[in-house]
């Protein structure tokens, strides 16, 4: 189905605040909302969530987002930093490339305030790590597919713990074949 509301904002300011639509009031239902935060060459961007209030509850038993969950996904041109839902702030994100922060919501009728995050840019030194040392997870419920490391076929980033979670119905067997290592 087609989204009722779609929005994309692009900023090239050195520092600022981004929020979900209507924050701190509830964000609209059936929404795809994204911020592009441009990062000049030679600079690094740091994104900190100060508020992350009551998105869909994460189903820890299944270790996966459920169809219809509201979530925030953060990516740059080298890959995904992860997707978050629930009410705990995502970790600090550092990027040396344009960052996309996307909020996707369902039409289940739940009203939630959303998020407030601040970002800032600084000159990047040669030795600076561009991703923090946090846990990132990708989740799949597909019956078949490909699993890759971040940035594949290029080198994956240093100091990154990345996990794939593959969920299948009870009684099913998951077969994993490595074609390149």
Q: How many helices (H) and strands (E) does the chain have?
A: 0, 11
Domain assignment present for 43: yes
Report percent pLDDT > 70 for the chain.
Answer: 61
Q: Mean pLDDT highest for which of 12-16, 125-129, 133-137?
A: 12-16
Structure confidence at residue 35 (pLDDT) = 83
Domain assignment present for 141: no
Structure confidence at residue 39 (pLDDT) = 79
Question: Nearest-CA neighbor of 90 among 71, 113, 69, 66?
Answer: 71
Least confident of 5-9, 48-52, 98-102: 5-9
Domain assignment present for 178: no
- Could you list the beta-strand ranges (E) of the chain: 5-11, 15-19, 31-37, 43-53, 71-76, 79-84, 93-95, 99-104, 114-123, 135-140, 161-166
Give the model's confidence band at 165: pLDDT under 50 very low, under 70 low, under 90 confident, else very high: low
Structure confidence at residue 99 (pLDDT) = 82
Domain assignment present for 165: no
Domain assignment present for 181: no
CATH number at residue 102: 2.60.120.290
Domain hosting residue 115, numbered range: 5-128
Domain assignment present for 151: no
Structure confidence at residue 159 (pLDDT) = 63
Number of domains in the chain: 1
Q: State mean pLDDT over 92-106.
A: 81
Domain assignment present for 40: yes
Structure confidence at residue 76 (pLDDT) = 84
Domain assignment present for 94: yes
* 142: number of Cβ within 10 Å: 9
pTM equals: 0.59
Please list the residues that pair with 82 across neighbouring strands: 74
């Amino acid at each position: 189905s087609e989204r009722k509301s779609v929005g994309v904002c692009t900023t090239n300011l050195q520092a600022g605040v981004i929020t979900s639509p209507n924050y701190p009031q509830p964000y609209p239902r059936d929404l795809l909302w994204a911020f592009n935060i441009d990062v000049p060459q030679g600079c690094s961007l740091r994104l900190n969530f100060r508020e992350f209030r009551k998105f869909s509850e994460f189903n820890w038993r299944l270790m996966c987002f459920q169809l219809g969950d509201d979530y925030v996904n953060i990516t740059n041109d080298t890959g995904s930093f992860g997707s978050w839902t629930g009410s705990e702030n995502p970790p600090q994100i550092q990027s040396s490339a344009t960052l996309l922060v996307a909020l996707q919501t369902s039409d289940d009728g739940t009203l939630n305030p959303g998020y407030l995050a601040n970002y800032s840019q600084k000159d990047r030194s040669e030795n600076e790590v561009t991703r923090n040392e946090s846990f990132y997870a990708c989740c799949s419920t597909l019956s078949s597919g490909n699993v890759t490391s971040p940035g594949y076929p290029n080198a994956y980033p240093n100091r990154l713990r990345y996990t794939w979670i593959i969920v299948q119905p009870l009684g099913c067997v998951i077969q994993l074949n490595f074609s390149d290592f």
